[in-house]
Amino acid sequence: MTGRPIPEQERRRSGRVPTNMKKFSVAILALGVAVSAQAQAPEAIMDRAVKAYTALNSVRAEFRQTITTPLTGTTLRSQGVLLRKDPDLLSINFTNPSGDRIVSDGTSLWIYLPSSAPGQVIKTSARANNALAMVDPGGVFLSSPAARYSMSGAGTATVSGRKTNIVKLTPKKPNGMFTSATVWVDSDTNYIRQFEVTDANGLKRTVTITAIEPNASIGGSEFRFTPGRNVKILGSESN
């Protein structure tokens, strides 16, 4: 028996959805999933982080740091303030342990850690051998990351009250700093909120950004370092 065509009003009352409409809805849903997956790809996350970082003229960030040494079973905790300003100016001032500093005045990089190496400071070129990038988190993770690291996504997490996307990084070539790293990138601002690195000996360093002020007003005096009279200067620029 040939069924009669179902009028539009009856189709609506019966709850039947035309086949072509079902296909259209499924296509839209699939497109949404694909766009979401693409947006959260680790390469895309890091690309947004690079753009956010390069857009900064300066930054002030408060941080906490934990260093765990598996060989000795010890854990060291510290905290401080990082100041960064273009071009090549960096100041890391530790409030705990108080007095430790890492400073780049644009020409020289000073590493002064009296809590562990009293009476001496290392002075080297800020530009030679990528020295500044090795102590500046932005330089470590956000300088050509696609060329330097293999990346994989690791989900999401909340850091210092901020939702973040997690990306794992593995150096494509040995870099002398770490064998693996994980970064937590703010899903809103695209700033790095936390990072963790592990070196060849298993030493693990975790740094959490507890507060960040982009494009902060920072005076030039913050990037000067004058060693004390009895402090011995070591390194390639010691003379």
Structure tokens at 96: 């705990």
- Between CA 60 and CA 239 the distance in angstroms is 32
In angstroms, how far is the first alpha carbon of the chain from the final one?
103
| Count of C-beta atoms within a 10 Å radius of residue 131 | 19
pLDDT for 2: 47
Structure tokens at 146: 């696609």
Find where tokens 């060291």 sit. Answer: 76
- Between CA 71 and CA 68 the distance in angstroms is 9
Amino acid at 148: R
Q: What is the CATH number of domain 42-234?
A: 2.50.20.10
**Which residue ranges make up each domain of the chain?**
42-234
Q: pLDDT tens string for the chain (239 positions)?
A: 445 554 545 444 445 545 554 444 444 343 343 444 444 799 999 999 999 999 999 999 999 999 999 989 999 999 999 999 988 899 999 999 999 999 999 999 999 999 999 999 999 998 876 777 778 888 899 999 999 999 999 999 999 999 999 999 999 999 888 999 999 999 999 999 999 999 999 999 999 999 999 999 999 999 999 999 899 999 876 65
- Cβ partners under 8 Å of residue 147, min gap 6: 172
Classified as helix, coil or strand, 182 is strand
pLDDT for 57: 95
DSSP-derived letter for residue 59 is E
Closest Cα to residue 138, out of 89, 72, 73?
A: 89
Classified as helix, coil or strand, 18 is coil
- Between CA 41 and CA 33 the distance in angstroms is 12
Q: Is 136 within 8 Å of 130 (Cβ atoms)?
A: no
- Cβ partners under 8 Å of residue 81, min gap 6: 60, 61, 62, 63, 92, 93, 95
Q: Is 49 within 8 Å of 42 (Cβ atoms)?
A: no
Amino acid at 102: I
- Between CA 80 and CA 31 the distance in angstroms is 45
